[in-house]
Amino acid sequence: MDKFAVIVIGGGHAGIEAALASARMGSSTLMLTMNKDTIGLMSCNPAIGGVGKGQLVKEIDALGGQMGRAADACGIQFRILNASKGAAVQSSRAQIDMDMYNRYMKSLVSQQDDLTVKEAEVEKILVKGGRVLGIATDKEEIMADSVVLCSGTFLNGIIHVGLKHHSGGRINEPAAISLDDNLRALGLKILRFKTGTCPRLDKNTINYSSLKIQEGDDPARPFSFSTGEITRPQIPCYITYTNQRTHKIILDNLDKSPLYAGIIKSTGVRYCPSVEDKIVKFADKPRHQIFLEPQGLDSDLIYPNGLSTSLPEEVQLEILHSIAGLEEVKVARFGYGIEHSVVEPTQIYPTLEAKLIQNLFFAGQINGTTGYEEAAAQGLVAGINAALKVKGKEPFILDRSSGYIGVLIDDLTTKGTQEPYRMFTSRVEYRLILREDNADIRLSKIGYELGLVEEKDYRGTESKVKAVKEGISLLKSARLKPGPEVNKTLSRMHSSLIKKSVTLEEVLKRPEVTLKALLGAGFISAPMAENTLRQVEIEVKYSGFIERQIREVDRFRNIEKIKLPKGLDYTLVNGLSREIKEKLDKLRPLNLGQASRISGVTPAAISILMVYLKKVNYCCSN
Ligand SMILES: Cc1cc2nc3c(=O)[nH]c(=O)nc-3n(C[C@H](O)[C@H](O)[C@H](O)COP(=O)(O)OP(=O)(O)OC[C@H]3O[C@@H](n4cnc5c(N)ncnc54)[C@H](O)[C@@H]3O)c2cc1C
């Protein structure tokens, strides 16, 4: 009988990161997937990143994960979203050649040392005495010390097009039904969520002449801190809009929508709604934007982003033909909705290990998220923890002050989610210090110590840290003296004139002044790499806010440090209400900070717990 240190079920975005991390950390790893050809398949839109999601990809990259590098290798259009807004909310996004991405991931996984890939449907998780033993397919049992389940939308998936539905994990792929039954039998609470995707259009049947073009950024900024530059020429997307005729067609056919006819009962994606949802919920909006995104360089398919729908095929055609540029469009594949099972995520620890079953980890859409990036981030954390557990090492947990990944996992495991969870910058308290541009500075040391970040990349980050420090101290020490030349240059920058000597740091703090302009004017001559320059500028311009956030983080970490023992009997804590005792007992927070974020757990309850911990001498370490 085969035995592995770690088995990863799933070859999607979560499964890939989990399997690569575990294998790269030296654990013999088996990836089981229903179909080897679909490893790294992008089920929905041909893009990686976006607001809040770009930050996740940068953090995955800084920790030694793969998604950022893969996006750079297969990207066909790169943009920084919110580029005109503050540094805290700027996010990277790239259009991806889907087939290239699929090939890249398949090849990478197949070449990874210590990683075996096998095609099979897992039907059961084998468990004995509350601990995982391995898995069973219809043909064999395979043993493992840890199992990571990343089964995406496949658990008892039901695909809807109009009022017709059938079982399926994704279009033309079977659902995992036995495994769904097995998880329920193991005692896990299961929710049902719904998501949907757009039709795919034949690019040769679109009339582009009236459409607005959207180009990528020039130069393209890569995702990965290890990518030098993007050399592949970028291709444009096009923009069109729905109109009143489109809206009427949708409203006239709402009774044929599985959602509105009450056939789909599961909870849908609030932030990525179907077009029928948008028309109903935002009835006052005269039109909705649609991005026509190419699925790849050699692909004939266009993804009409914004047109997710599960209306019947003939209605989808009518909708499309009502839209400018799409009057004659031919559809290669129709949109559909999918309902699938989700493991209620408060049943897992922030390590992503199940509370009920030791050494069983969950990652990706199965935990109630939507999106490739959210899945990949969890996959990385679960893969790392599965490998650490096997080696008997301390678990890896990122808290809310350390990264978007920490916020994502804390939200899921502490508060749970009643609808598909998508990452946003607004979910992050300390977003001014958790930026895309400094993800390497924040996290690559952890990735390096875990064995996931290569020596040369880590040394590169160390050099960047040094260069940023030197740049800032140079600006603090260099002074500008008033004089006609200096003031003429300042006035060209639309900046007020100086009457006394000031440091360059003070000048750079002025909103209208950029570091590039100061360098260009010859006020300082310090050659700086593009990424160092950006860091220095942000650190100087926002220094007051950043310092305030650092103080807030210190306060946050102080309470996060106070651990709650695993076996703590909350019924013995006098002064807590029964409701709070029950919640704490059920959710088993790891520390006081996590306890304080559970809904209904009051500041008074936290004080009572703190006093109790001191009294029984548990405080701060165990
Ligand atoms: C129709 C549809 C619409 C979507 N719409 C959006 C959207 O609008 N916005 C958005 O951000 N995201 C959307 N997504 C979600 C996005 O595709 C997923 O969040 C992401 O792919 C999840 O990654 P994952 O690794 O968790 O699972 P997946 O990428 O789904 O991969 C699951 C993997 O598990 C394997 N597997 C499953 N069960 C078994 C088993 N029993 N045995 C062996 N292998 C198994 C499968 O073969 C597959 O390799 C959509 C997905 C679908 C299907």
Tell me the two tokens of residue 182.
């097995």
Q: Is the pLDDT at 166 greater than 90, yes or no?
A: yes
Tell me the two tokens of residue 523.
């006020």
Kindly state whether residues 542 and 595 are assigned to the same domain: no
- Residue 618's pLDDT band, with cuts at 50, 70 and 90, is low
| Residue after which a domain boundary falls, among 516, 549, 582 | 549
Kindly state whether residues 143 and 227 are assigned to the same domain: no
**pLDDT > 70: what percent of the chain?**
98
Give tens-digit pLDDT for 599-608: 899 989 999 9
Tell me the two tokens of residue 112.
């990874």
Distance CA 314, CA 414 (A): 44
Distance CA 354, CA 491 (A): 62
Cβ of 362 below 6 Å from ligand 1 = no
Q: Is the pLDDT at 28 greater than 50, yes or no?
A: yes
Instruction: Print the SS3 string covering 140-185.
Output: CEEEEEEEEECCCCCECCEEEECCEEEECCECCECCEHHHHHHHHH
Kindly state whether residues 87 and 147 are assigned to the same domain: yes
Q: Is the pLDDT at 370 greater than 90, yes or no?
A: yes
Kindly state whether residues 308 and 350 are assigned to the same domain: no
Q: Quick one: DSSP state of residue 491?
A: H
Phi, psi at residue 260, to the nearest 5°?
-80, -25
Mean predicted confidence (pLDDT) in 95-102: 98
Cβ of 11 below 6 Å from ligand 1 = yes
Give, using CA atoms, the residue closest to atom 9 of ligand 1. 371
CA 368 / ligand 1 centre spacing (Å):
11
Q: Which atom of ligand 1 is nearest to the CA of 378?
A: 26
Does 457 reside within a domain?
no
Cβ of 38 below 6 Å from ligand 1 = yes
In this prediction, residue 263 carries a pLDDT of: 78
Following DSSP, what letter does each residue of 274-329 receive, concatenated?
Answer: -HHHHHHHTTT-S--EEEEEES-SS--EEEEET----S-HHHHHHHHHTSTT-TT-
Helices and strands per DSSP (H, E), number in the chain: 20, 22
pTM of the model: 0.94
Cβ of 178 below 6 Å from ligand 1 = no
Kindly state whether residues 38 and 182 are assigned to the same domain: yes
CA 41 / ligand 1 centre spacing (Å):
9
Cβ of 152 below 6 Å from ligand 1 = yes
- What stretches of 188-263 adopt beta strand conformation (E)? 190-197, 200-202, 212-214, 237-241
CA dist 610 → 197, 201, 569 (Å): 48, 59, 14
| 21 vs 210, residue with greater confidence | 21
Residues forming beta bridges with residue 232, ordered by sequence position? none
Does 210 reside within a domain?
yes
The enclosing domain of 508 has a CATH number of 1.10.10.1800
Q: Select from 17, 20, 31, 33 the residue to mutate for testing ligand 1; criterion: most ligand atoms less than 8 Å from CB.
A: 33
Q: Are 549 and 504 in contact (CB under 8 A)?
A: no
Kindly state whether residues 111 and 59 are assigned to the same domain: yes
The amino acid occupying position 477 is: S
Kindly state whether residues 387 and 412 are assigned to the same domain: yes
Give, using CA atoms, the residue closest to atom 21 of ligand 1. 372
Kindly state whether residues 260 and 236 are assigned to the same domain: yes
Kindly state whether residues 183 and 94 are assigned to the same domain: yes
Give tens-digit pLDDT for 38-69: 999 999 999 999 999 999 999 999 999 999 99
Kindly state whether residues 10 and 69 are assigned to the same domain: yes
Give, using CA atoms, the residue closest to atom 52 of ligand 1. 43
| Residue after which a domain boundary falls, among 497, 524, 549 | 549
Kindly state whether residues 401 and 344 are assigned to the same domain: yes
Q: What is the mean pLDDT of the chain?
A: 94
Query: Please, what is the end-to-end C-alpha distance for the chain in angstroms?
Result: 38
Does 620 reside within a domain?
no
Following DSSP, what letter does each residue of 529-598 receive, concatenated?
Answer: -HHHHHHHHHHHHTHHHHHHHHHHHHHHHHHHTSB--TT--GGGSTT--HHHHHHHHHH--SBHHHHHTS
For β-strands 115-119 and 91-96, DSSP reports them as unpaired
Q: Is the pLDDT at 560 greater than 80, yes or no?
A: yes
Give, using CA atoms, the residue closest to atom 47 of ligand 1. 34
Cβ of 335 below 6 Å from ligand 1 = no
Mean predicted confidence (pLDDT) in 508-522: 92
Does 462 reside within a domain?
no
- Residue 524's pLDDT band, with cuts at 50, 70 and 90, is confident
Does 125 reside within a domain?
yes
| Angle in degrees, 0-180, between the axes of helices 372-390 and 13-24, rounded to the nearest 10 | 30
**pLDDT > 90: what percent of the chain?**
87
Mean predicted confidence (pLDDT) in 361-384: 98
Phi, psi at residue 369, to the nearest 5°?
-95, 170
Give tens-digit pLDDT for 570-591: 999 999 999 999 999 999 999 9
Does 555 reside within a domain?
no
In this prediction, residue 50 carries a pLDDT of: 96
Q: Which atom of ligand 1 is nearest to the CA of 376?
A: 25
Tell me the two tokens of residue 313.
């095929």
Q: Is the pLDDT at 177 greater than 90, yes or no?
A: yes
- Residue 360's pLDDT band, with cuts at 50, 70 and 90, is very high
CA dist 378 → 438, 455, 580, 615 (Å): 20, 24, 29, 37
| Residue after which a domain boundary falls, among 337, 362, 395 | 337
Give tens-digit pLDDT for 461-501: 999 999 999 999 999 999 999 999 989 999 999 999 999 99
| Residue-range definition of the domain harbouring residue 301 | 200-337
Does 163 reside within a domain?
yes
Q: Is the pLDDT at 621 greater than 50, yes or no?
A: no
Tell me the two tokens of residue 603.
């500041």
In this prediction, residue 620 carries a pLDDT of: 46
Kindly state whether residues 246 and 177 are assigned to the same domain: no
| Angle in degrees, 0-180, between the axes of helices 372-390 and 53-62, rounded to the nearest 10 | 30
Mapped onto helix, strand or coil, the DSSP state of residue 470 is helix
Structural domains of the chain, count:
4
The enclosing domain of 295 has a CATH number of 2.40.30.260
Cβ of 43 below 6 Å from ligand 1 = yes
In this prediction, residue 207 carries a pLDDT of: 97
The amino acid occupying position 216 is: G
In this prediction, residue 258 carries a pLDDT of: 84
In this prediction, residue 622 carries a pLDDT of: 38
CA 490 / ligand 1 centre spacing (Å):
54
Does 554 reside within a domain?
no
Q: Are 23 and 115 in contact (CB under 8 A)?
A: yes
The enclosing domain of 427 has a CATH number of 3.50.50.60
Of 269, 264, 258, 253, residue with least CA distance to 316: 253
For β-strands 331-333 and 301-305, DSSP reports them as unpaired
